[in-house]
Chain A
Amino acid sequence: MSCVLSLSPTYYRALKRLTLELAGIRLGDDHRFLVETRLSALARKEGFANLEQMIDELFSRGQTRLAIHVVSALLQRATRFFEDRPSFEMIGDILLPKLHQFYKGGTVRILSYGCSSGQEAYSIAILLDKLSASFAGMKFEIIGVDYPSWALESAKEGRFTHFEVQRGLPIRHLVSYFDRAGEDWVVKKDLREKVRFVDHNLLADIGDLGIFQIVMFCGKLTQYSPPAVIRILRSLSRLVRENGYLVLGSGEEIGEANYGFDIFQDATGCYKKHSHSKPENIAEKPISTFQETAKGTHRDSSVA
């Protein structure tokens, strides 16, 4: 039987501080039930008798691995396929044709930043597959990046529940791109091989991911604290190639500081990186795994 383990106000305050420090995300007092629900499941999985025992262990020993799991559990978002449809329509109808015209071939790299369980990255892959005939000679590389978590592990497997595949995914896409696996559905191998997922602390140095023509960071900006927003936007500015695009969710803005971006054609939530030089050949810099970038993550993960 699953029941929710409760958390004292002192422990909740400590967790709020931890989440803010590690991930730059503010948990409100109204998140308490959600936090207890998610951490109860984690505490059981980690073999603790109760939630407070797990938090005690976390703060007394400063366990980095446990801290990452706790924060990841707290940050898991319920995502859906083709979430924020206007952004996908803009990518398909405007951004990709412009990049195709600009680069006339080569490889376009697309990043789903904060990809959670992978719906956004796989939605991009489906979109590109549907449009492949329009972009002859162009190759695509899709990468999803997020904190290490169970959600990210599911993303790597391409495995989704019966409920997840019915949220935002047209039935024809389900039949074309997924295979049934018992109660779940798994992304077909061909499509799965077009997407790579990388474990990474989103607040750590992400320069080793290389640079991208399109970075998607949809619907997530508002959950971060103001200092974290600045840090993330600076990082994203470094990740987007000149003449490339940053796609935030509809209605999301980067604020007064432009971080090297211009609003793109008055489209809310889409920004184009300033151009300072002629287009170069698109570099295909290899990306690292979480293990290779663990230094950055662990440095930011110190607790207590």
Chain B
Amino acid sequence: MARALKTCLIVDDSKMIRRVALRIVKDMQFETIEAGDGSEAIKICQKKMPDAILLDWNMPIMDGMSFLKALREEAGGDDPIVIFCTAERDVIKIAQALDAGADEYIMKPFDSDIIESKFLETGLL
């Protein structure tokens, strides 16, 4: 029997970024779900936790950091591997993301090599 695909939730307010990330993650044999902000993403997670979350920082309604904190408080919220994927490159911001429970961090712009590398490092591949 074929093994179920892992799922990756892509959270970004930019449709274009979501489309690019989605294509890369699909090519790595993941099932994908999209959300345009943190509040939409938390509702998806409350129904079913994904295996991985690719998370933008600056978004309207609920930003990435608020989402991450809310996620880790949910039942089963420690399970998903969370990889920030953001234009923020400041070392202090990176440290804040890691302290808040992010597993990895991608600085935009990214390419398929970078996403694959981060998925490998976090044991998703």
Chain A residues close to B by CB (< 8 Å): 80, 162-163, 166-168, 170-172, 174-175, 180
Contact = CB atoms under 8 A, between A and B. Distances in A.
B114 interface: yes
19 contacts: A162-B107, A162-B109, A166-B106, A166-B114, A166-B117, A166-B118, A167-B113, A167-B117, A168-B117, A170-B104, A170-B121, A171-B105, A172-B98, A174-B94, A175-B91, A175-B94, A175-B98, A180-B89, A180-B90
A32 B106 CA distance: 33
B107 A180 contact: no
Given A162-B107, A162-B109, 20 more contacts: A80-B117, A162-B89, A163-B111, A166-B107, A166-B110, A166-B118, A167-B114, A167-B117, A170-B104, A170-B121, A171-B98, A171-B104, A172-B98, A174-B94, A175-B91, A175-B94, A175-B95, A175-B98, A180-B90, A180-B91
A166 B121 CA distance: 11
A281 to B, nearest CB: 39
Nearest to A81: B117
Contacts of A171: 94, 98, 104-105
A167 B98 CA distance: 18
Contacts of A166: 106-107, 110, 114, 117-118
Interface string B62-96: 00000000000000000000000000011100110
State which size class the interface on B falls in. Answer: 10 to 19
Interface string B54-66: 0000000000000
Contacts of B91: 175, 180
B19 to A, nearest CB: 20
Contacts of A172: 98
A213 B118 CA distance: 32
Contacts of B117: 80, 166-168
A174 B114 CA distance: 14
Contacts of A180: 89-91
Contacts of B94: 171, 174-175
A170 B109 CA distance: 17
Nearest to B103: A171
Contacts of B104: 170-171
Nearest to B117: A167
A167 B114 CA distance: 5
Contacts of A175: 91, 94-95, 98
Nearest to A171: B105
Q: Which of A80, A162, A171, A175 has the most CB of B within 10 A?
A: A171
Contacts of A162: 89, 107, 109
A125 to B, nearest CB: 19
A80 to B, nearest CB: 7
A168 B107 CA distance: 14
Contacts of A174: 94
A149 to B, nearest CB: 22
Contacts of B113: 163, 167
B24 to A, nearest CB: 14
A188 to B, nearest CB: 12
A170 B104 CA distance: 7
A174 B105 CA distance: 10
A180 B93 CA distance: 13
A163 B89 CA distance: 12
B117 to A, nearest CB: 5
Contacts of B95: 175
A172 B102 CA distance: 11
